[in-house]
Amino acid sequence: MDAKSWRCPSGHCFDIASKGYVNLLTTAGKNPKNAGDNAAMVKARTDFLDKGYYAPLADRIADMISARASVFAVDSGCGEGFYTARIAEKCPDCFFAGVDISKTAIAHCMTRVHQKKLSNTAFAVGSSYKLPFPDSSADELFCIFAPVANDEYARVLKKDGRLIVVSPTADHLFELKAAVYDEPYKNRPNKYGLDSFVLEDEYSLEYKEEITSQDDIYALFSMTPYFYRTSETGMARLKALDKCDVTIGFLIQSYRNNKI
Ligand SMILES: C[S@@+](CC[C@H](N)C(=O)[O-])C[C@H]1O[C@@H](n2cnc3c(N)ncnc32)[C@H](O)[C@@H]1O
């Protein structure tokens, strides 16, 4: 690595963007411009997360990580950086690397960490299935509502490294779905095929939030996958909602690497 670029062992060179991140998805045919969350999704996520509704999740993960001193942690599928930045701020002795396939999201991560003047983070546009870290280099790897990559996580995590995967609980956002759909359903558990890991611990962080702003309700709904498969009637119901008492629920699962 020099001041303006990163070089990989095979001789590839990746320029550091003016905002300070590196784009590793420059290979022809990958179309990095449109990969992952688009600008509207990134904005919705930022508008909602900045209100602090999901801050208890970031704080819980920060507590888990800060219990071990000076770790190197990866945020895989870090999105627009709310969690990476908040956790890095609470764990100043640790170093955090965020990777996301969306260039817009990673550019926003840089804005966040500049605003907070954080010096313990780095970000790259890249894939969770091809992380830019050496074998057995990470102490912690967390993945919040993003694609889970068994083989790559097993490669990058140290033997005693920990994987933290966050997914929605059955009741997460149920009241919001009930307001929009005739037949709302509860979330089913995700199946990740984490064959290289052993589940050590799981914890449901669940609480109620009264969301009283129409803009916040709309931003929340538009950062979920439901937004893109909701009928016109459902969207009309959503837009008419100016208040929603909603369950927020995160299933936090901790896994140990099975490496010998
Ligand atoms: C639901 S968002 C979650 C973002 C963030 N973890 C959060 O909770 O705010 C999923 C993220 O995964 C990213 N993503 C999708 N496929 C990916 C891949 N193959 N590698 C890395 N990131 C990916 C998207 O761009 C998006 O930012």
Average pLDDT over residues 195-209: 96
Q: Is residue 127 part of a domain?
A: yes
pTM over 0.85: yes
Tell me the pLDDT tens digit for each residue of 112-131.
999 999 999 999 999 999 99
Q: For atom 27 of ligand 1, which residue has the closest CA?
A: 79
Which residue from 47, 50, 128 has its CB within 8 A of the most atoms of ligand 1, so it is best to mutate?
Answer: 128
Residue 76 lies in a domain: yes
Quote the domain boundaries for residue 76: 14-257
pLDDT in tens, 17-60: 888 898 988 764 455 566 778 888 899 999 999 999 999 999 99
User: Residue 37's closest CA among 81, 97, 83?
Assistant: 81
Angle CA(46)–CA(60)–CA(127) in degrees, nearest 5? 55
**Does position 8 have pLDDT exceeding 70, yes or no?**
yes
Q: Looking at the domain assignment, is residue 8 inside a domain? A: no
193: left (phi over 0), alpha (psi -120 to 50) or beta: left
Q: In this structure, which residue's CA is closest to atom 1 in ligand 1? A: 145
60 lies in a domain?
A: yes
Å from CA of 202 to ligand 1 middle: 22
Q: How many domains does the chain have?
A: 1
Q: Is residue 220 part of a domain?
A: yes
User: Tell me, what CATH number does 21's domain have?
Assistant: 3.40.50.150
Is 9 among the domain residues?
A: no
Write down the mean pLDDT value for the chain.
92
Enter the tokens of residue 21. Answer: 């991140």
Distant-in-sequence, close-in-space partners of 75: CB < 8 Å, separation ≥ 6: 83, 84, 87, 96, 97, 98, 99, 142, 143, 144
Residue 71 Cα, ligand 1 centroid: separation in angstroms? 23
Where does ligand 1 bind, in terms of residues with CB under 6 Å?
36-37, 45, 77-79, 82-83, 100-102, 105, 127-129, 144-147
Confirm whether 2 is domain-assigned. Answer: no
Q: Is there a domain that residue 204 lies in?
A: yes
